[in-house]
Amino acid sequence: MQHATRMTSWLHVGLFVYGYCFYYYLARSDMSGFMQTSFFFGALLSTALAGIYVLALGVTSIVDTAFQQHCIVCTLLPVMV
């Protein structure tokens, strides 16, 4: 369960960064025009999608590790008894 807590923690960090980017664009930057807006949010979207990809890899590795441990235990348990 420790891995799931760690992943949700990173998910919250990603959401915070995503929200701060909207705040930064609207309140603090003086960007305007289609090209600047599309580049800024395009870069933001690609970063967010990379974070989702890494999160999916983390979930896959946790599930795979749990499945492998289950297979090893089920294989060795009858031998040890």
pLDDT one-digit tens code per residue, 19-48: 888 899 889 888 888 998 888 888 887 877
Which carries the bigger pLDDT value, residue 3 or residue 55?
Answer: 55
30 — phi, psi (to 5°)? Answer: -110, 35
73: number of CA atoms within 13 Å, CB side? Answer: 6
Residue span of the structural domain in which 48 resides: 2-80
Place of tokens 């960007």: 31
CA distance 7 to 17: 15
* Count of domains forming the chain: 1
Percent of the chain with pLDDT over 70: 84
Residue 47 CB burial class (10 angstroms; 0-12, 13-18, ≥19):
middle
